[in-house]
Amino acid sequence: MHSTASDGGYTPSELMRKCYNAGLSIVSLTDHDTTNGIKEAKEEASKLNLTVINGIELSTKNKGKSVHILGYGMNIEDNSFQKILEEQRQMREDRLHIMLEKLKAQNITLHPEDVLKHVDGGSIGRPHVAMALVEKSFVANAAEAFDLYLAEGKPCYVEKAKEFSPQEAIQLIKGAGGLAVVAHPVYYGIDRQIKQWIKEEDLDGVEVYHRDHDYQTVKYYERLVYAWEKEIERDLLKTGGSDFHHETYGRKIEPVGTTTVSLSLANKLLDAVKQGKRKEK
């Protein structure tokens, strides 16, 4: 899930209270390219008896197409890790100015402050531009903003100057003591490459359960991960996420707590994170 530290609609504290009210017990904050919301989330969660796993979602490019890599359990105090993340956030800011120029070419004028007011000090993303477009009545809603202007292939989409490769993201996460998981694989159609990353890059798992994975997709990836485990003779993480930003994010309204995983799977991830920390010691 995502907070205002990146492109979510709620502060980390507000998000933890929503999780508590939804009856959740183990959660992870996986903001885009930043861990800046985790401390606040953990402080609030400690008052609510919620367990928060350190998380992040890194944007990568694989043969020109977007692939997201999730990280869990990293040491967020790791200086080299944070330096690289700061460079990524700077690229997002540079990207914003190019995006605004492209919007101007579509006869849409937005100023940086129109977008930055929605960022709340976090990492700048396209959803913030979408919020500004809605606020200025250029579009009816965020979905229309993406469909007309901001989605990949649309006239105002801008790639970052340099994005991680999936392999680089996996190694960045693991270098900070974390576990690397490929996010929502249904979007990519690259199962052979995912298998290769498991074998060659020590990728730790696959996000099998996701709000956009229907029943058939879930069953497909459950079977596929099981087959990979047998072949490589090691356990893989089968994670899940709501990808919650706010209730109106995505193609359908979905409150916190709608898409979940079983407590046993959540505990497996938590145990794997704890085991990784023991190895570091």
CATH number for the domain that contains residue 56: 3.20.20.140
Rounded average pLDDT over 57-80: 93
Strands 179-182 and 65-72 come out as antiparallel
Token couple for 59? 């944007």
pLDDT at 61 over 60: yes
pLDDT score recorded for residue 281: 47
Specify the pLDDT at position 4.
87
Residues 6+ apart with CB under 8 A from 122: 3, 4, 5, 6, 7, 31, 34, 36, 37
Q: How many domains does the structure of the chain reveal?
A: 1
CA distance 234 to 228: 9
**121 pLDDT more than 60:** no
| HSE value, Cβ hemisphere, 13 Å, CA-based, for 121 | 6
pLDDT exceeds 60 at position 201 = yes
CA distances from 259 to 120, 197, 218 (A): 26, 27, 13
DSSP letters of 89-110?
A: HHHHHHHHHHHHHHHHHTT---
Smallest CA-to-CA distance from 101 within 142, 157, 144 is with 157
Residue 122 resides in a domain? yes
User: Which is more confident, 136 or 88?
Assistant: 136
**Residue-level pLDDT at 181:** 98
Tokens 């000090």, residue located: 121
What tokens does 36 get?
């800046």
In a domain, 75, yes or no: yes
List all residues 6 or more positions away from 171 whose beta carbon is below 8 Å from its beta carbon. 201
Average pLDDT of 175-204? 96
- Look up tokens 């994010």; give the residue: 249
Residue 85 has pLDDT above 80, yes or no: yes
Question: Is position 208 within any domain?
Answer: yes
102 vs 123, residue with greater confidence: 102
* Residue 241 lies inside a defined structural domain of this protein: yes
Residue 1 is assigned to a structural domain of this protein: no
Give the DSSP H/E element, type plus range, for residue 62: strand 51-62
pLDDT at 279: 54
- Domain containing 36 equals 12-226+235-280
Find the helix or strand (DSSP H, E) in which 54 lies.
Answer: strand 51-62
Q: What's the mean pLDDT in 25-53?
A: 96
Q: Residue 4: inside a domain, yes or no?
A: no
Model pTM score = 0.81
- In degrees, rounded to 5, the angle at the alpha carbon of residue 42 between the alpha carbons of residues 37 and 47 is 135
Whether residue 254 is contained in a domain is answered as yes
Residue 7 located in a structural domain = no
> Residue 123 — very low, low, confident or very high, per pLDDT cuts 50/70/90?
low
pLDDT of 219 over the 70 cut? yes
